[in-house]
Structure 1
Amino acid sequence: MKIAVEGCMHGELDKVYDTMQRLEAAEGIKIDLLICCGDFQAVRNESDLQCVNVPPKFRTMNSFWKYYSGQAVAPYPTIFIGGNHEAANYLWELYYGGWAAPNIYFLGFAGVVKFGNIRIGGMSGIHKQHDYHRGHHERPPYDNATIRSVYHVRHYDVLKLMHVKEPLDIFMSHDWPLGITEYGNWERLLREKPFFTEEVIPSCKLT
């Protein structure tokens, strides 16, 4: 089985699927599955767009709406989790997971599915300690605080995955793995994006 992995889709389904088809032609292969590790941006309409935590200049419809409406059909089975830039109102409707559009499956806030003989698990959102032990209290219309906190991982969802007995072949998260910055130039990363400091400090050696 050949699986394609997309870091962040940002609603650009047309571009990603076109790229995969070109790759298949160039490499002479057949891709069986696409998985997306968050920031999928399943935006169906203008109302959804107002629930995405991005600056107004980045609020664009892109192409998911075509797949939701049936104007287009995903050429590959697609499984995704939520990141921190999502149409939170729509993904909340699929809290336990479900079909976001034909051939496009959302794993939910915490979920596991089996594709062929592969077990795939995932956790949506990003970790923020101050919200970790809170419940899911956010509801639209979101304000400046809840449009962000709605994406924060909750202990309740982590516990559900901890009860999974059978091993997983693939685990998807939007947060990077602890310690991953030690394998790159984290000092340069923090110079260019100092807002990552809080996430990098626990896994690097600041002097």
Structure 2
Amino acid sequence: MPTSATQVFFAAVGDVHGHMNRMVNHLRHATDVFHQQFDFVLQVGDFEPHRDEADLATMAAPAKYRHLGDFDAYHRLRRGFPWPVYFIGGNHEPYGYLDTHPEGFELTRHCHYLGRVGVMDLHGLRVVGLSGVYSEEHFTKQRPPLSALGSVSNKDFTYFNERDLEQALELKHADVLLLHDWPSGVITPEDAARFEGQRRSPSYDAVGNDYARLLVDALQPKLVLCGHLHQHYAGTLQHPSGKKTEVRCLSSVEEGWSAFAYYELAGESLYTLGITD
């Protein structure tokens, strides 16, 4: 493992869906393997921090996927996140809760929502996040106000829109970019068979969206992290400037090791570290 006076060690986590205990247990195992504690943890949406049934009622999801999960124990400080966790919103979140602070906020100790569009400096890394997923129908529309909850579909709160994208583009630079959905063009033809005929990816070149890719091309981060499809995938995007962006797509924590990735920053270099159990 590289060593440096400016060494930073962090983890990335895919969709949690309320399984905070499972996430923490996996990460504790990783710290035992690496003999090192995380400086922070980044999470790519569908975190599902439901405090109670009222929060759960504002989530967009079929009834069979609606469950409170583990977050209430963390919110009440009966359990704690051992490291600072920074997450974005996905398409299954209690936006009735999260949108009370669309600029982002600390939900409980060591648990931070980055907001609809957020930026944080974490140990010298500029981390930018864009919450939500893309919908052609909703992209040019204004999101409903929270007062409309109950009279409009919960899904109307799950999309990023044109103003969100413009706000993210105004940030101009990122070292790490958090997205829920994938950027388009990340899958190579050699890997096409993995993505054929699935509900959210009828063909490999239909995976992701062009607006997420536009943001990647504009900010040119070292690393993009995303979730949503419950598939793990690693790719690289080449920019006209000559810079390259590593893209790491993560599965859900229910699927085990493929939902997690580990990184070390030493100086200007970002290293990917791996364990598979």
TM-score, reference length from structure 2: 0.67
1:147-166 superposed matches below 5 A: 147-165=154-172
Distance 1:168 1:68 in 2: 30
- How many residues are aligned here? 200
Contact 1:138/1:149, CA 8 A, preserved across alignment: no
RMSD: 2.1
1:8-87 superposed matches below 5 A: 8-87=15-94
Compared CA separation, residues 184 and 172, structure 1 to 2 (3 A): farther
Distance 2:97 2:190 in 1: 36
String of CA shifts for 1:108-136, please: whole Å, max 9, x gaps. Answer: 00010111211100100001111111111
| Matched position secondary structure for 2:202 | helix
Q: Which residue of 2 aligns with 1:189?
A: 195
1:47 alignment partner AA? A
Q: 1:174 aligns with which of 180, 205, 211?
A: 180
Contact 2:193/2:204, CA 8 A, preserved across alignment: no
Shift of 1:77: 0.4
1:141 and 2:149 are equivalent in the alignment: yes
Q: Which residue of 2 aligns with 1:96?
A: 103
String of CA shifts for 1:75-120, please: whole Å, max 9, x gaps. Answer: 1100000000111101111201111211111000001011121110
1:122 alignment partner AA? G
Shift of 1:186: 3.5
Compared CA separation, residues 162 and 202, structure 1 to 2 (3 A): same
Distance 1:103 1:190 in 2: 39
Unpaired segments ≥5 residues, structure 2? 1-7, 209-277
Compared CA separation, residues 14 and 163, structure 1 to 2 (3 A): same
Q: Which region of structure 1 is more displaced relative to structure 2, 1-10 or 53-62?
A: 53-62
Distance 1:74 1:111 in 2: 21
Unpaired segments ≥5 residues, structure 1? none
Higher relative contact order (CA 8 A, sep 6+): 2
1:37 alignment partner AA? V
Shift of 1:178: 1.2
Contact 1:138/1:146, CA 8 A, preserved across alignment: no
Shift of 1:149: 1.9
Q: Which has the higher strand share?
A: 2
Distance 1:40 1:65 in 2: 13
Distance 1:81 1:181 in 2: 23
Q: Which residue of 1 aligns with 2:237?
A: none
TM-score, reference length from structure 1: 0.88
